């Protein structure tokens, strides 16, 4: 079992989008997955994945109960064959200053999934500390702007404090745009080079990225929209396939 955290301290970088793309790719590859929505302020992942009515979706145990000690089996909701979801909960905020960083790691021990995927809030607190401590892989989506760069520096300082030397960390450019007309002097290109030339970030920047594309926005907003290797969505399909293959070593099917 591999546990994947998706976190950036900046909001709107594509954490939930990346989570959904990876989850659906793994579903298509026949993997058994548990998804945990650990975003205390915006449960978009629960919304994307859970088809049930609002009232029904508000019943039952959540990630809050998981942190309190309720067993995973009693917190999960089956949302598809091979896909279990633990829904988000605003009460997760209660654990922002918890003294233990191992609650989640303990809760996830001995489970029978291929992958556990955890979407998170754009914050740094002890909930994120718990998520990172429980994870094998960290995906950090970033955008080509100066604020993303500054926030990433802060995030790496915090990561160093946790001393998670085995955490397989990947910085992934999302909403990536190439310089117009190959002009290297554009603001965006200068910022991109700042990331690529930074000694701390350099070893962790993945060679693949997700472009800025309405295809991804549609993918999140339209339930039946698919990315396919043989249609106008081909580029999106290939970008996801490259990332999933590179990071997880999993080959996905022709359509996700």
Ligand X SMILES: Nc1ncnc2c1ncn2[C@@H]1O[C@H](COP(=O)(O)OP(=O)(O)O)[C@@H](O)[C@H]1O
Residue of 28, 32, 44, 242 that binds ligand X (CB under 6 A): 44
**The entry of ligand X, Mg ion, none that residue 216 binds, CB within 5 to 8 Å by partner kind:** ligand X
46 binds ligand X (CB under 6 A): no
Calpha distance 47→53 (Å, rounded): 10
Residue of 3, 16, 155, 241 that binds Mg ion (CB under 5 A): 16
Q: Identify the bridge partners of residue 138 per DSSP, sorted by sequence position.
A: 5, 169
Q: Which stretch binds Mg ion (CB under 5 A): 11-19, 124-132, 198-206, 224-232?
A: 11-19
Q: Of residues 26-55, which lie at the interface with Mg ion (CB under 5 A)?
A: 44
**The entry of Mg ion, ligand X, none that residue 155 binds, CB within 5 to 8 Å by partner kind:** none
User: Which residue, among 194, 217, 214, has the nearest Cα to 142 in the 3D structure?
Assistant: 194
On whether the CB atoms of residues 34 and 116 are closer than 8 A, the answer is: yes
88 binds ligand X (CB under 6 A): no
220 binds ligand X (CB under 6 A): yes
Calpha distance 252→5 (Å, rounded): 20
Residue 216 makes CB contacts below 8 A (sequence gap 6+) with 14, 17, 21, 210, 236
Residue of 75, 151, 210, 247 that binds ligand X (CB under 6 A): 210
57 binds ligand X (CB under 6 A): no
**The entry of Mg ion, ligand X, none that residue 212 binds, CB within 5 to 8 Å by partner kind:** ligand X
13 binds ligand X (CB under 6 A): yes
**The entry of ligand X, Mg ion, none that residue 106 binds, CB within 5 to 8 Å by partner kind:** none
C-beta of 13 vs 148, nearer to ligand X: 13
Q: Which stretch binds ligand X (CB under 6 A): 76-84, 125-133, 146-154, 206-214?
A: 206-214
Residue of 216, 241, 244, 256 that binds ligand X (CB under 6 A): 216
177 binds ligand X (CB under 6 A): no
**The entry of Mg ion, ligand X, none that residue 60 binds, CB within 5 to 8 Å by partner kind:** none
Q: Which stretch binds Mg ion (CB under 5 A): 10-18, 23-31, 81-89, 232-240?
A: 10-18
15 binds Mg ion (CB under 5 A): yes
On whether the CB atoms of residues 29 and 83 are closer than 8 A, the answer is: no
Site of interaction with ligand X (CB under 6 A)? 11-17, 44, 174-175, 210, 212-213, 216-217, 220
Site of interaction with Mg ion (CB under 5 A)? 15-16, 44
């Amino acid at each position: 079992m591999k546990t994947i955290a998706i976190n950036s301290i900046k909001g709107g970088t594509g954490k939930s989008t990346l989570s959904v793309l990876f989850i659906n790719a793994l579903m298509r590859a026949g993997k058994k997955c548990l998804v945990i929505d650990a975003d205390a302020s915006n449960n978009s992942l629960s919304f994307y994945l859970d088809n049930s009515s609002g009232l029904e979706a508000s019943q039952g145990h959540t990630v809050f109960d998981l942190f309190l000690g309720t067993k995973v089996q009693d917190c999960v909701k089956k949302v598809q064959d091979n896909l279990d979801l633990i829904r988000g909960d605003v009460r997760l905020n209660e654990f922002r200053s918890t003294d233990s960083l191992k609650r989640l790691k303990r809760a996830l021990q001995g489970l029978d999934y291929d992958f556990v995927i955890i979407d998170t809030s754009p914050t740094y607190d002890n909930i994120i500390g718990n998520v990172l401590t429980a994870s094998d892989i960290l995906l950090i989506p970033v955008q080509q702007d100066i604020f993303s760069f500054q926030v990433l520096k802060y995030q790496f300082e915090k990561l160093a404090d946790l001393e998670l030397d085995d955490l397989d960390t990947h910085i992934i450019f999302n909403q990536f745009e190439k310089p117009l007309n190959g002009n290297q002097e554009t603001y965006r290109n200068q910022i991109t080079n700042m990331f690529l030339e930074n000694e701390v970030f350099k070893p962790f920047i993945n060679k693949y990225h997700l472009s800025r594309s309405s295809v991804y926005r549609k993918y999140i907003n339209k339930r039946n929209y698919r990315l396919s290797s043989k249609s106008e969505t081909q580029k999106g399909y290939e970008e996801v396939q490259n990332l999933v293959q590179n990071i997880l070593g999993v080959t996905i099917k022709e359509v996700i």
